[in-house]
Homo-oligomer: A and B are copies of this chain.
Amino acid sequence: MFKLHNFFRSSTSTRLRVALNFKGLSYDYVSYVLRRGDNRTEAYLQMNPAGLVPVLERKDGTSMTQSLAIIEWLDEEYPRPALLPRDADGRARVRALAYMVACEIHPLNNLRVLGYLADSLGADEDFQRKWFIHWVSETFDVLEATLARDEDTGDFCHGSEPSLADVCLYAQVWNNKRFDIDLSSWPTITRIFNALDAIPAFHSAAPPFQPDAS
């Protein structure tokens, strides 16, 4: 049994909930309200010195950080159903699609960056919204073109089974809802999101259905 230290709205937490659900692994849900500083207590910083969510605590009391590292670990330890293809080229493609979201959108748009823009530059809500949409659009335009062009794209980002790329895409589209971003210019992303949202393991991991949702 795992303990998932997380927050309903955190996009990296959503990724991890999806992966755990998808693999049929149960977990205790431990909620941290970031704006209240739940993640800055001494006990939490002991577990993750970065003060970020999510953390996955294992049965033996050890903790893991960084959502993508944890998902790779889950995929190695609990290989079925898989979140990475069997062939090396497929894995490279899935990881590249996942990192487009994880290294080019999410790091720019999380709460601490929006907070730093406000504190250091006096960026108001309007600018934060513009900033958020700018970085989503830059990469979603490329992701859309890539998915629409590649023969390897199927019902999901890579063929007919959900993968790590879908986990990241799904969490990011939910994150976009914070700023009501219109998805209509990205039809392939929209189609894949809708296909994922029809899968109970994904749907039940979405932010609004978590115990701490507000």
Contact = CB atoms under 8 A, between A and B. Distances in A.
A103 B100 contact: no
A185 to B, nearest CB: 15
A203 interface: no
A81 B103 CA distance: 26
Interface string A103-140: 11011100001001000110100010011001000010
Interface string A54-79: 00000000001110111011001100
Nearest to A58: B89
Contacts of A91: 72-73, 76
B134 A64 contact: no
A102 interface: yes
A189 to B, nearest CB: 14
A209 to B, nearest CB: 26
A145 interface: yes
B66 A146 contact: no
B49 A103 contact: no
Contacts of A93: 69
Contacts of A195: none
A73 B92 contact: yes
B49 A96 contact: no
A32 B149 CA distance: 25
Contacts of A139: 50
Interface string A129-170: 011001000010010011001000000000000000000000
5 contacts: A66-B100, A70-B92, A72-B95, A73-B91, A102-B103
Interface of A: 49-50, 64-66, 68-70, 72-73, 76-77, 88-89, 91-93, 95-96, 98-100, 102-104, 106-108, 113, 116, 120-121, 123, 127, 130-131, 134, 139, 142, 145-146, 149
